[in-house]
Amino acid sequence: MADDILFDLLHSEIINYALEQSKENGNKKEVDLSIVEYIGFAAGYKIMERLTREWPRFKDELDTMKFICTDFWTCIYKKQIDNLRTNHQGVYVLQDNGFRFLTNFSNGHQYLEFAPRFVAYTCGLIRGGLANLCINSVVTAEVQSMPSCKFHIHVQRTFALTSVWPSTGSDRSVETSCDQLCGKDPFFGEIIAAKSTSPTSTHLFKAEQFTSVQPRK
């Protein structure tokens, strides 16, 4: 079993590698973090398969999110998510007040511009994990003051039946995953279809529409 520090070091080297790649491709200003995100996705996708192997079936989406906030997060980031909020329409906000990859930075604003690099992997990790549980989503992160970080998960209901391996960048192969099986089950299909009547859009994204959900103790 490997030590934690190796993971920390590897994480920063992956970011380093992505920076070099985007420099080589001639992007002087913009840093291409899609590689980091993708590596997170691939790792999240596979680790979720192992983690949930002997786990009872999740009741619903919220239950899945709670799993991410508690057990999943504790394993990887040594603490639970501090706050989970949702508008019950497919938008979840996970707030971590002391995010592992940001705790080593100065608390001020000095390095705030570099924060996106250190959250990209985790965005991918969450997205990959959810993709393996048949929840297709877009995960973005927001860092306002240093060690705390908010992850926004927008669940994409329209694609609920087929989760597709992303094909961003060069010629990353496209693989369909788990869900041919679910698609064939008419009952399952109906449930998803019933749910997908209210599409999520950004204007729903108002603070008063969120209700707090207590993470499981």
Binding site for other proteins (CB under 8 A): 1-7, 9-11, 13-14, 16-17, 21, 35, 38-40, 42-43, 46-47, 50-51, 54-56, 71-72, 74-76, 78, 170-172
Q: 38 or 200: whose CB is closer to other proteins?
A: 38
Tokens of 37: 């995100």
DSSP character at residue 31: -
* Shortest Cβ 70–other proteins spacing (Å): 9
* Shortest Cβ 54–other proteins spacing (Å): 6
- DSSP string computed for 33-89: -HHHHHHHHHHHHHHHHHHTTTSPPPSSHHHHHHHIIIIIHHHHHSS--SEEEE-SS
Helix residue ranges per DSSP H, the chain = 4-24, 34-51, 61-67, 73-77, 115-132, 180-184, 186-195
* Shortest Cβ 10–other proteins spacing (Å): 6
**Which of 81, 63, 102, 104 lies closest to 152 in space, CA to CA?**
81
* Shortest Cβ 5–other proteins spacing (Å): 5
Q: 49 or 142: whose CB is closer to other proteins?
A: 49
* Shortest Cβ 140–other proteins spacing (Å): 20
Q: 37 or 179: whose CB is closer to other proteins?
A: 37
* CA separation for the pair 90, 82 (Å, rounded): 19
Q: How many other CB atoms are there within 10 angstroms of residue 173's CB atom?
A: 6
Q: Helix 34-51 and helix 4-24: axis angle, to 10°?
A: 150
Q: 35 or 65: whose CB is closer to other proteins?
A: 35
Q: 6 or 194: whose CB is closer to other proteins?
A: 6
Q: 164 or 191: whose CB is closer to other proteins?
A: 164
* Shortest Cβ 135–other proteins spacing (Å): 19
* CA separation for the pair 169, 39 (Å, rounded): 12
Dihedral angle, C-alpha 73, 75, 76, 81, nearest 10 °: 20
Residue holding tokens 């997205």?
Answer: 127
